[in-house]
Structure 1
Amino acid sequence: MTVPKNQPSPRALAWRRRGAAFTAGWREFAKQRAGLVGLGLLAVIVLLAILAPVITDREGLDVTKATGDRMESPSWEFLLGTDRPGRSVLLLTLWSARISLTVGFVATLLSVAIGTIIGILAAHYGRWVSAGLMRITDFFLVLPSLVLAIALSTVLERGIGTIILAIGLTSWPSAARLVRAQTLTIEARPYIERARALGGGHFHVISKHVLPAVLPLVFVNTTLAVGSAIVAESTLSFLGLGDPDPMRPSWGSMLRSAWLDSAIIAGAWWYLLPPGIAIGIVVLAFTMCGRALESVLNPRLREG
């Protein structure tokens, strides 16, 4: 079947509709002031983390090359003071952002991918497949995810990869239940029955119809889950299960170092507050963006 020259192809029409939907979604998102503030905060933090090798010297992370005094208070040379070995707290905070954000993003993508696959398969195939997958999901929901993450981090070799794996493999059940509920709603719609009647197989229905309709919910859940993953990484690092390499610090390992060095007793507030405030700002920013996206994608929330 040939398409007339004056008419766009079906693929061009599809991309045009997607562009129009994206534009309408962005206009609605721009009306959410909290979402714009959160997006701006995230842009600044991510930009600083990316530019850390450009605006700072990584050699300053080496304790043998520290140039400051022990727990020196903030000054023009060290804007956020120094830690016990004499390293700049500002330098540590910037480089820690790279590790914390990386772990948060990658662990969230892993958990959301697992939850999405399990949720779609459970809702699409039903019967014993749904029963088996949901029993596994309920098992992980009953057990505390932090305890499971601690167990995995203890058994496996310490490092960034272990933390990502521990968080990703223990935080997917909530995403699976959300995706399953959304998939059941989508598969009850008439166009799914029409696709099956026309000979569409399981892969076609899932990839062409179910997954595109589920992706907005997955995207919102991903935005909200990144903050939780960063908090989980900070908790594991604070408990001493993070990366042991001092050249790869995170906000959690900074809090652990401040606690071990008795920063509170010594009155070195500049050693303790920056990583804690950074964690709070990032989690708040992701939450603000996620809530704004919920309002954009859910008309009932937008009307409220």
Structure 2
Amino acid sequence: MTSDTAATAATPAAAKSPRALARARRRHSAVRFWRAYRTHKAGLIGLGTLVVIALAALFAPLLVGADAQSVTDAPGEAMRAPTGEFPLGTDQFGRDLLALLVWGARISLTVGLLAAFLSVAIGTVVGITAGHFRGWYATVIMRVTDWFLVMPTLVLAIALASVMDRSLWTIVVAIGVTTWPTTARLVRAQTLAVESRPYIERAQALGGGHGHIMTRHVLPNVMPLVLAQTTLVISSAILTEATLAFLGLGDPTVVSWGGLLQDAREAGAVSAGDWWYLAPPGIAIAVVALAFTLCGRAVESVLNPRLGVTR
């Protein structure tokens, strides 16, 4: 009876498929990650701020109306100071600046996220391949990486945005292809550390090819570093997007926070002292960048407790 009971108890675990076991491990890891993340007060504040801003951007048509960006249907007088009707005043066309700020969150967050993901994706591929293959390939690719590192990122992004069409995708590409070297350096260092472990040699001895080693062994081990780096790169990407839009290199047909600053400069808000036209977009950019930085530091601390990040 004892052996039968043990066999019966072991049957459900043994009957689980590899996919089910993998999903169970992922759920357990996610729960453990969230429990550790909740202990970081600054990270929770940053996450809460991002959730509120993201929800406002997602439901912008319901919150401020779909025609808030229209110049011809502007509801107020041009350059009007904040009032009860317009809490943040109006722009040079008489549009509600609060509504424009909400709409601008959509573009700024979207461009920042896409550019950051493109940058991290390029850096991850370059870092893993350079750390795995080594030899002449690693030498060439890392010298290219060093060249990008010493060149001013903003200058390269401005150059790319100047020669390409003025659109959101141009900004995404300009930021993504100029900000990947830092990620590549970090991922390559982690790849070298992972490939020095004994189980990599065993996998190679059992016939594991380059693709198998990189995707099944190296990539899962560098993903925590990539995740932490992504949250930090997003804030930098949002700042770069705002800078390019402020310099007039963004898409003029959409509203973004950097574009609002550019409109304020062109309207003479700086010399006229119209602070309500300048301060809200700048504060929004700073708040979002700070929120992503707080989340990134918290994620980095959870994934690598030895960093000892202050909670």
TM-score range, shorter chain: over 0.9
Could you say which residue in structure 1 is the equivalent of 2:230?
222
Residues 97, 250 of structure 1: 8 Å contact kept: yes
The reply to whether residue 61 of structure 1 matches residue 69 of structure 2 is yes
Shift of 1:4: 4.8
The reply to whether residue 283 of structure 1 matches residue 289 of structure 2 is yes
Q: Quick one: distance in 2 between partners of 1:268 and 1:303?
A: 40
Residues 224, 290 of structure 1: 8 Å contact kept: yes
Worse-matched range after superposition: 94-103 or 66-75: 66-75
Q: Quick one: distance in 2 between partners of 1:186 and 1:90?
A: 49
The reply to whether residue 258 of structure 1 matches residue 283 of structure 2 is no
Residue aligned with 2:68, SS = helix
Residue aligned with 1:65, SS = coil
Worse-matched range after superposition: 76-85 or 3-12: 3-12
Could you say which residue in structure 1 is the equivalent of 2:163?
155
Q: Quick one: distance in 1 between partners of 2:21 and 2:167?
A: 47
* Structure 1: unaligned runs, 5 residues or longer: none
Q: Quick one: distance in 2 between partners of 1:283 and 1:59?
A: 28
Shift of 1:67: 1.8
- Aligned-pair identity in percent equals 56
Q: Quick one: distance in 2 between partners of 1:231 and 1:257?
A: 17
Match of 2:278 among 265, 272, 276: 272
The reply to whether residue 50 of structure 1 matches residue 79 of structure 2 is no
Could you say which residue in structure 1 is the equivalent of 2:301?
295
Shift of 1:23: 1.1
Q: Quick one: distance in 2 between partners of 1:93 and 1:301?
A: 37
Residues 296, 302 of structure 1: 8 Å contact kept: no
For 1:10-49, what aligned pairs fall within 5 Å after superposition? 10-49=18-57
Match of 2:121 among 110, 113, 118: 113
Residues 297, 309 of structure 2: 8 Å contact kept: no
Residues 84, 261 of structure 1: 8 Å contact kept: yes
Cα 1:6–1:259 shift into 2, 3 Å = closer
Residue aligned with 1:82, SS = coil
TM-score, with normalisation over the residues of structure 2?
0.93
Letter in 2 for 1:88: D
Q: Quick one: distance in 2 between partners of 1:274 and 1:129?
A: 48
Could you say which residue in structure 2 is the equivalent of 1:202?
210
Q: Quick one: distance in 1 between partners of 2:12 and 2:257?
A: 58
Letter in 2 for 1:145: T
Residues 79, 89 of structure 2: 8 Å contact kept: yes
Letter in 2 for 1:181: A
Could you say which residue in structure 2 is the equivalent of 1:123?
131
Shift of 1:266: 2.1
The CA deviation string for residues 90-141 of structure 1, in whole angstroms up to 9 with x for no partner, is: 0110111100001000001111100000000000000011011101111111
Q: Quick one: distance in 2 between partners of 1:164 and 1:14?
A: 34
Worse-matched range after superposition: 38-47 or 262-271: 262-271
The CA deviation string for residues 242-299 of structure 1, in whole angstroms up to 9 with x for no partner, is: 1121xx1110010111111121332221111110000010000000000001110012
TM-score, with normalisation over the residues of structure 1?
0.95
Could you say which residue in structure 1 is the equivalent of 2:107?
99
The CA deviation string for residues 126-173 of structure 1, in whole angstroms up to 9 with x for no partner, is: 001101110111111111111111111111111111111100010001
* Structure 2: unaligned runs, 5 residues or longer: 1-9
| Larger gyration radius, structure 1 or structure 2 | 2
The reply to whether residue 169 of structure 1 matches residue 177 of structure 2 is yes
Shift of 1:22: 1.5
Letter in 2 for 1:184: L
Shift of 1:302: 4.0
Shift of 1:219: 0.6
Q: Quick one: distance in 2 between partners of 1:175 and 1:95?
A: 31
How many residue pairs end up in the alignment? 300
Residue aligned with 2:72, SS = helix
Could you say which residue in structure 2 is the equivalent of 1:242?
250
